[in-house]
């Protein structure tokens, strides 16, 4: 089994007497209220999904990641994982704090090690490649406080997931399943859209090379207009049940929020899937992109900045897939000799547009089972 990123798999979830003691103590601590986005980050750190992180980043780590896409010890890490705080006056290093939700429930505790100020413009340009607040990731960051609190965390209570809770598996659980199935090589597929024919083509090409396919849809926070996670999960089931060998496919959700950070998020997604136990990840056209902020294959090219040993998971880079009318099947520019007039290009954006316009989804675009689910959901909404 592939090793977790940067060392042992992190586990910051308290149990037994230790948790009971901290729950009692937490009632007397200064409380910091976390929104759903940062509650999700808290849980993802605690369960090891963000290994080797053991807490929210301090200023040294924050600057190192922004400047070099590495932690201070040299480990590759592409996205700042930080905790904005609204009222920092009473926060200082050496102070333990309770981390709560809007309902007042204490989900965790943090030993504050640093309090510092983020540079929004610098962070936006480095992470998102733009400071344009029309970018959803930049807009979210600019709406947050500029003061950040750092420190190692402990989780007292699991944070509820928004959808498909039975498919929420921690890294130690996915690794156990992979071992039980005898999979030594596993390819991950990241998506925030329903699976269409182009996705299926890439997945099956990759599945020819490895033991198992790990379909790992993101169910964390996404931008307005994205298809709801519950609908997407129904689509994944329809495709897996009808078009894949079930003993070679596993479906589990990815609880991280979507940042739309393009190339840097592609690295981040790869590292998280490595922590799940995957040896490969599919990186297609405009991975984690939005609008026209990133080059078509920029998310693939960023992997060339690091050695395979540094990231530890192999990126499978695919061309833009399409349906070719003359070939009568899915293809890419590497496998099809025909002109663009014979190509039907597929994308999640186009699916949403057709649904909004009340139009049918053609079978060259998506499987009929998926089309039926999406059209039914669109008519209800």
Give me the count of residues in the chain.
381
Identify the weakest region by mean pLDDT among 36-45, 87-96, 283-292: 87-96
Task: In whole angstroms, give the CA distance from residue 54 to residue 79.
Answer: 15
Q: Give yes or no for a contact between 80 and 56, defined as CB atoms under 8 angstroms apart.
A: no
Residue pLDDT, tens place only, 222-252: 777 678 888 888 999 999 999 999 999 999 9
pLDDT exceeds 90 at position 346: no
275: exposed, middle or buried (Cβ count in 10 Å: 0-12, 13-18, 19+): buried
Identify the weakest region by mean pLDDT among 48-57, 263-272, 308-317, 350-359: 350-359
Tell me what pLDDT residue 282 has.
Answer: 96
Query: Would you state the structure tokens that stand for residue 375, as one six-digit string?
Result: 């059209």
Q: What is the reported pTM?
A: 0.93
Place of tokens 């519950």: 230
Q: Give yes or no for a contact between 258 and 223, defined as CB atoms under 8 angstroms apart.
A: yes
Task: In whole angstroms, give the CA distance from residue 286 to residue 198.
Answer: 14
Query: Would you state the structure tokens that stand for residue 328, as one six-digit string?
Result: 């009568």
Helices 368-380 and 348-356: crossing angle in degrees, nearest 10, is 50
Q: Is the dihedral of CA 44, 47, 52, 54 positive or negative?
A: positive
Domains delineated in the chain: 16-155 (3.10.400.10), 165-380 (3.40.50.620)
pLDDT exceeds 70 at position 360: yes
What is the average pLDDT value for the chain, to the nearest integer?
92
H or E element at residue 236:
helix 229-243
What is the pLDDT averaged over residues 105-113? 96
Tell me what pLDDT residue 348 has.
Answer: 65
More confident residue, 241 or 348: 241
H or E element at residue 32:
strand 30-33
Q: Give yes or no for a contact between 150 and 60, defined as CB atoms under 8 angstroms apart.
A: no
- Residue 321: name the closest of 226, 205, 227 by CA: 205
Tell me what pLDDT residue 381 has.
Answer: 61
More confident residue, 323 or 214: 214
Q: Which residues participate in catalysis according to the annotation?
A: 192-193
Residue pLDDT, tens place only, 117-172: 999 999 999 999 999 999 999 999 999 999 999 999 999 999 988 777 789 999 99
């Amino acid at each position: 089994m592939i090793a977790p990123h940067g060392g042992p798999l992190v586990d910051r979830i308290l149990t037994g007497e230790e948790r009971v003691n901290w729950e009692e103590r937490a009632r007397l601590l200064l409380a910091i209220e976390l929104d759903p986005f940062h509650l999700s980050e808290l849980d993802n750190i605690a369960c090891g999904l963000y290994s080797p992180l053991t807490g929210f980043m301090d200023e040294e780590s924050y600057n190192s990641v922004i400047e070099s896409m590495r932690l201070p010890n040299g480990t590759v890490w592409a996205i700042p994982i930080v905790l904005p705080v609204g009222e920092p006056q009473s926060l200082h290093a050496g102070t333990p704090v309770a981390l709560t939700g809007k309902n007042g429930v204490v989900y965790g505790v943090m030993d504050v090690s640093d309090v510092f100020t983020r540079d929004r413009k610098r962070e936006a340009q480095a992470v998102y490649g733009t400071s344009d607040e029309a970018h959803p990731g930049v807009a979210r960051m600019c709406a947050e406080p500029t003061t950040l609190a750092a420190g190692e965390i402990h989780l007292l209570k699991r944070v509820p997931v928004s959808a498909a809770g039975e498919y929420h598996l921690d890294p130690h659980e996915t690794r156990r399943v992979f071992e039980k199935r005898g999979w030594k090589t596993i390819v991950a597929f990241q998506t925030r859209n329903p699976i269409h024919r182009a996705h299926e083509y890439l997945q099956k090409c990759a599945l020819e090379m490895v033991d198992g396919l790990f379909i790992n849809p993101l169910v964390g926070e996404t931008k307005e207009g994205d298809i709801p996670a519950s609908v997407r999960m129904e689509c994944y089931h329809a495709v897996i049940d009808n078009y894949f060998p079930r003993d070679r496919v596993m479906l589990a959700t990815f609880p991280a929020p979507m940042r739309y950070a393009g190339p840097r998020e592609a690295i981040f997604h790869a590292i998280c899937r490595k922590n799940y136990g995957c040896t490969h990840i599919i990186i297609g056209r405009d991975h984690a992109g939005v609008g026209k902020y990133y080059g078509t294959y920029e998310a693939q090219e960023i992997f060339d900045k690091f050695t395979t040993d540094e990231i530890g998971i192999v990126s499978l880079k695919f061309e833009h897939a399409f349906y070719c009318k003359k070939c009568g099947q899915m293809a890419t520019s590497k496998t099809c000799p025909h002109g663009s007039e014979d190509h039907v290009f597929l994308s999640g954006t186009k699916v949403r547009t057709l649904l909004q316009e009340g139009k049918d989804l053609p079978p060259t675009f998506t499987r009929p089972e998926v089309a039926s689910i999406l059209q039914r959901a669109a008519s209800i909404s």
